[in-house]
Amino acid sequence: MNSAHDLGGQMAFGPVLPEPGEPVFHGDWEKRVLAINVAAGAMGAWSIDEIRHARESLPPAQYLSSTYYEIWLAALDRILVEHGFLTQEELASGKPVPQRREPKRVLKGEDVPAVLRRGFPYEREAPGPAKFAVGDRVRTAVMHPQHHTRLPRYARGKQGVIERVTGCHVFPDTGAQRQPEVAQWLYTVVFTGRELWGRDADPTSTVSIEAWESYLEPA
């Protein structure tokens, strides 16, 4: 999506100001939001790419004025309603309704450490040989999809070089749309700063991105 989340290369947002000694959480409510997201994701009703798409789909004014975990909470509200686990009336009243969709899996407290250690691997068996190899020159696609994509706007239609072949992984663009799982080869592609930003860019800078095979064509 070409929405508010895709800020790479955008101007007028001010400098990035790291917070010295930044804590992991700025309040107990942030801990709870993370825990609820982990528990809800473990129900198995949606993929990581679908919840990312829910975050990206928030109205730009809401997205840009919200903190990190406020975005997570708003997107979780939306996706729980979409999948029938909550209703808008419940969100407004704070009171549960007698009947709702039941999850097929429930993450129990004692299982959380093992689940977090294991993670959610997305590497898959390759459907065929990789199309590109390290050192190949490639060009990224020019596209403006209405759905989730991992190819940022600033890197579309640009020439780069395959830096690393990272294996075969679940393709996020279709995963976010609740389509059957598709696996594609994934590459690290390096671009010069001037290729991305033009003649005024630092000539010594480079940017590397992770790009799925369908994003690329031979240069």
Q: How high is the pLDDT of residue 208?
A: 98
Q: How confident is the model at residue 218 (pLDDT cuts 50, 70, 90)?
A: very high
160 within 8 A of 187, measured Cβ to Cβ: no
**CA–CA dist 79, 58 (Å, integer):** 11
Q: How confident is the model at residue 154 (pLDDT cuts 50, 70, 90)?
A: very high
Total length of the chain: 219
Lowest-pLDDT choice from 25-29, 98-102, 149-153, 207-211: 98-102
**CA–CA dist 55, 89 (Å, integer):** 21
Q: Which residues of 198-218 are buried (b: 16+ CB within 10 A; e: fewer)?
A: eeeeeeeeebebebbbbbbee
Residue for token digits 């947002």? 13
Q: How high is the pLDDT of residue 66?
A: 97
- Give tens-digit pLDDT for 53-97: 999 999 999 999 999 999 999 999 999 999 999 999 999 999 988
Average pLDDT over residues 13-26: 92
Q: How confident is the model at residue 137 (pLDDT cuts 50, 70, 90)?
A: very high
Q: Is the pLDDT of residue 192 over 90?
A: yes
Q: How high is the pLDDT of residue 101?
A: 86
184 within 8 A of 149, measured Cβ to Cβ: no
Q: How high is the pLDDT of residue 153?
A: 95
179 within 8 A of 53, measured Cβ to Cβ: no
Q: pLDDT: is 134 or 105 the higher one?
A: 134
Global model pTM greater than 0.75: yes
Q: How confident is the model at residue 30 (pLDDT cuts 50, 70, 90)?
A: very high
Average pLDDT over residues 158-162: 98
Lowest-pLDDT choice from 4-8, 150-154, 163-167, 206-210: 4-8
Q: Is the pLDDT of residue 199 over 90?
A: yes
Average pLDDT over residues 137-147: 95
97: tokens are 């309704």
DSSP category for residue 123:
B
What domains can you pick out in the chain, each with its CATH number? 28-118 (1.10.472.20), 137-218 (2.30.30.50)
3-state secondary structure of 80: helix
